[in-house]
Amino acid sequence: TVSYVDTASPSAVQQATADWCICTIPLPILSQLPLDVSGPMKNAIDSLPYAASVKVGLQFKRRFWEEDEAIYGGISYTDLPIRNIGYPNYGFNRGGRGVLLGAYLYEGANSFEFTAMTPAERVASAVEFGAKIHPQYKSEFENGVAVAWHRVPFTLGCAGEWTEAGRAQHYRNLCQSDGRIALAGEHASQLPAWQEGAILSALDAITRLHERVVKT
Ligand SMILES: Cc1cc2nc3c(=O)[nH]c(=O)nc-3n(C[C@H](O)[C@H](O)[C@H](O)COP(=O)(O)OP(=O)(O)OC[C@H]3O[C@@H](n4cnc5c(N)ncnc54)[C@H](O)[C@@H]3O)c2cc1C
């Protein structure tokens, strides 16, 4: 039996009862929920840190990277804290405003620094660093938006950050069916931080469950 609050009608706690539960809630959230699993699985759930990641979108008055520099799509890889600038692969030479991926940080100290900033500070910082690559930033910038995945309440992190030691100690316990509960998601796969890992782990959980149901 699972107790839950539907965000569409948040006043009531509801319950759902089923024979099996496949749970895909990210571990930083699941570790904070009351859960009826064994000690080894609980330890595994509690042990996996999640990587930091930050993206900043920047809106400019014009697509200066195309008009001035003949950049049509692609990515500039920099050694600045913003790491990457991503250019849109669509709407080439369209007049008017344009939007860039002005920063894409993952792992490392800079990701945590940007996570600690307010969204407005992240945007301002992305403009400041990006102007070293494209001086037009200063005069063409209009608006921005920033997401830091450790601050997103639905994941509390970008993806599971496994180490070899962590996998050796906890991976099997995390990925075994525990009573009537099995976990799935990128964190329960050998390909963390990829959609493929999430899908493979779902197939694995379903296969294990099917084998067990057929046997009983
Ligand atoms: C910045 C970034 C870039 C990425 N780029 C790529 C890429 O280019 N290619 C790629 O393949 N993958 C990429 N990924 C990874 C990919 O997005 C994930 O691996 C994949 O979405 C994980 O799927 P999942 O089902 O495990 O988790 P999620 O997609 O995170 O699903 C978990 C779900 O649980 C829900 N949930 C949370 N708390 C609760 C709760 N208490 N009750 C009920 N539901 C809850 C959430 O709302 C969410 O819908 C990227 C991820 C990030 C963060």
* Residue located nearest, by CA, to atom 27 of ligand 1: 185
* Residue located nearest, by CA, to atom 8 of ligand 1: 194
The two structure tokens encoding residue 37: 């699993």
ipTM of the complex: 0.98
Residue owning tokens 């950050």: 161
- Centre of ligand 1 to C-alpha 155, Å, is 7
Residue 54 beta carbon below 6 angstroms from any ligand 1 atom: no
Domains and CATH numbers, the chain: 15-49+161-215 (3.50.50.60), 53-151 (3.90.660.10)
Q: In three state form, how does the secondary structure of 156-172 look?
A: CCCCECCCHHHHHHHHH
* Residue located nearest, by CA, to atom 33 of ligand 1: 25
Q: Which atom of ligand 1 is nearest to the CA of 197?
A: 19
Q: Which residues contact 132 (CB under 8 A, 6 or more apart)?
A: 80
pLDDT, one tens digit per residue, over 12-30 is 999 999 999 999 999 999 9
pLDDT, one tens digit per residue, over 95-127 is 999 999 999 999 899 999 999 999 999 999 999
The two structure tokens encoding residue 192: 């963390």
